[in-house]
Amino acid sequence: MIAAIKKMLGIGPQVDLGTLIANGGIIVDVRTPGEYASGHVKGSVNIPLDSLRSQIAKLKKDKPVITCCASGMRSASAKSILQSNGFADVQNGGSWYNLKKYEK
C-alpha cells in the first residue's frame, strides 16, 4: 500500500540519483529557510515551495533536477511545478536526509 502511494506521488528515486548528481544534477530543497538552516544536503539549493514559481529562473532546464523536502510531499508538488514549466528531467528525491549520501 505504501509503495503504491509513493509511486502515485512520485516519491523516492525512480532512477539512480547518485549518477544524476555526479553528472551535474541539482538538488533543490523546497523546505523553508529555517528548515534548511537546521540541516541540508551540502551543495543543494534552497528554494521554498511557496517561492518556486517566482524563482524558477534560477534553475536550468538542461540539467537534471532532484527535488527534496522533509518527507517527500512538498518535493512531489515541486516536481509537478517544474515539469509544468518545461523541465523534462525532474526526480522527486523524497526526504533531504535520504539524499545526504550523495553530498558533493
Contacts of 22 (CB under 8 A, 6+ apart): none
Q: What domains can you pick out in the chain, each with its CATH number?
A: 2-102 (3.40.250.10)
* pLDDT tens digits, one per residue of 6-33: 555 655 545 788 899 998 999 999 999 9
* pLDDT tens digits, one per residue of 68-94: 999 999 999 999 999 999 999 999 999
Residues marked active site are found at 69
Q: What is the pLDDT of residue 82?
A: 98
Q: What is the pLDDT of residue 76?
A: 96
39 conformational bin, left if phi > 0, alpha if psi -120 to 50, beta if neither: left
